[in-house]
């Protein structure tokens, strides 16, 4: 949610301007990332991780072909790159404790959400430094693709400090050419 200021000029017949009032209206962020419905078949799965960020969850991370085509001369992903973090709850035992398998790993349970990073030319321009992730932006959906109402500035501020690796936590795992 953000606040937009609208300046409204009151104009009376004949073009006489009586005055201007400023209205402040609350408006949803314009959602600019669409649910990448075909990610599981069209994108490349490059990592499955017991989440560092949220223990008790497993994330499968996918990249589209644009992201995998290579970085630019400054080490950044090209416009059109999309990364998807498909989030699952880890399976728990009868007491609600996360089960760790004999391999020392969490076990994938129910799908929980689909987190998306997408980069397009100029998308980062409006953000202050602490929320800017080059030209990446963020969205999160239910497993079925409905947009979830989350504070996307939390996503932006946690990924923002990773400027050296273009804001991608799993950067070293991306199979770049």
Q: Among residues 36, 39, 43, 59, which is the contact residue for ligand HEC, using CB under 6 A? A: 59
Task: Count interface residues toward ligand HEC (CB under 6 A).
Answer: 22
Q: Among residues 90, 115, 141, 160, which is the contact residue for ligand HEC, using CB under 6 A? A: 115
68 contacts 175 by C-beta, under 8 angstroms: yes
Interface with ligand HEC includes 68 (CB under 6 A)? no
Interface with ligand HEC includes 36 (CB under 6 A)? no
Cα dihedral 75, 40, 159, 30, rounded to 10, equals 110
Q: Rounded to whole angstroms, how far apart are CA atoms 66 and 72?
A: 12
Interface with ligand HEC includes 158 (CB under 6 A)? yes
112 contacts 91 by C-beta, under 8 angstroms: no
Exposed/middle/buried for residue 39 (C-beta within 10 Å: 0-12, 13-18, 19+): buried
Interface with ligand HEC includes 53 (CB under 6 A)? yes
Interface with ligand HEC includes 44 (CB under 6 A)? no
Element (H, E) at 69: none
Interface with ligand HEC includes 140 (CB under 6 A)? yes
Distance of closest approach, residue 50 Cβ to ligand HEC, in angstroms: 8
């Amino acid at each position: 949610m953000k606040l937009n200021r609208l300046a409204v000029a009151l104009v009376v017949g004949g073009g006489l301007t009586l005055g201007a009032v400023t209205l402040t209206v609350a408006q949803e962020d314009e959602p600019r990332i669409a649910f990448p419905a075909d990610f599981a078949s069209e994108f490349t799965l490059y990592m499955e991780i017991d989440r560092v960020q949220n223990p008790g969850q497993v994330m499968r991370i996918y990249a589209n072909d644009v992201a995998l085509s290579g970085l630019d001369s400054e080490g950044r992903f090209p416009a059109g790159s999309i990364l998807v973090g498909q989030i699952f709850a880890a399976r728990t035992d009868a007491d609600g404790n996360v089960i760790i398998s004999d391999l020392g790993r969490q076990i994938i349970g129910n799908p929980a959400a689909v987190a998306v990073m997408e980069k397009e030319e100029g998308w980062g321009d409006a953000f202050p430094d602490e929320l800017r992730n080059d030209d990446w932006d963020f969205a999160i959906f239910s497993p079925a693709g409905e947009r979830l109402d989350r504070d996307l500035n939390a996503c932006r501020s946690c990924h923002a400090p990773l400027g050296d690796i273009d804001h991608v936590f799993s950067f070293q795992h991306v199979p770049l050419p």
